[in-house]
Amino acid sequence: MKVKVISILEDNYMYLVIEEQSKQAIAVDPAVPHRLLEIVKREGLFLVAVLTTHCHWDHARGNEALVNEVPSLKVYGADDRIKGLTDKVTDSQELKFNSINVKCLFTPCHTSGDMCYYVWEDECTDAPAVFTGDTLFIGGCGRFLEGTAEQMHHNLTKVIASLPQETKVFCGHENTIKNLKFALLVEPENEKVKEMLSWARARDDDDKPTVPSTLKEEFDYNPFLRLSEKAVQKFTGKMEPVEVMRVLRKEMDTFKKPKERLPPQAMLALQWGLLMSSKDHLSPAIKDSD
């Protein structure tokens, strides 16, 4: 099983899960359908299904166009608001595509119809994967737009946390740096957070994705999975895990990512460039008076 990571829109990800022997492919949240179809054609794949994590346009808007292009395509999801939905799935339902297995994990909170997908391949030693949409991010979690702290606590600590620790996490957005800066605010002495933030900045400099992480790694630096840690409780002023979750998300909702400070040489070059640009736009009369 191969997972192809495809960056789209401002910071979204869509994915192709490929069974390499048969060349069958399953798309996850394919919001830019023409680009997906170009990749499918270029790599000689057969698109058989779409897994939609939730109804928001930046995850589901490509479904109808894909169904029009591939009439046999199955579009799975848990919310009737999902465009192009052909097959509604329920919690713990399992799907099979040749040797690839999918277990549906109902995780309502970001929206009332969120579904994560746990995916593994028969007789394969590679780590399984979970596609979490906007429920679990690297270093963070999604907003509680249609749900509660109780629901997100259940989603993260009971549903997703029950998966094997080596499970690879493929989330819906590239917001890792902001998440880890918040995590560092919550736990300023957490060395794992510092290491991961440094790594994520390097990936960003190289224009490379930070997905996937693993569940094991998330427990080391994601504050939303570290609700019983003393530093996290101190930051929130709460002890009870659901209340810790509630305060964390409230603080994250108002958190503004600190601006990266440019090196002195870059600042000097920027200032010089702006100065020269302003001179270029002065009228001839003003230039002559200097």
Which residue numbers are catalytic? 54, 56, 58-59, 110, 134, 173
- Main-chain phi, psi angles of 280, to 5 degrees: -65, -25
Largest CA distance in the chain: 80
Is residue 143 a contact partner of residue 136, using CB atoms and an 8 Å limit?
no
With vertex at residue 26, the alpha carbon angle to CA 20 and CA 28, rounded to the nearest 5 degrees, is 130
Q: Give Cβ neighbours of residue 22 (< 8 Å, ≥ 6 apart).
A: 46, 98
Containing H/E element for 136? strand 136-137
- Helices 191-205, 176-186: inter-axial angle, 10-degree rounding: 160
Q: Give Cβ neighbours of residue 128 (< 8 Å, ≥ 6 apart).
A: 118, 119, 120, 163, 164, 166, 167, 168
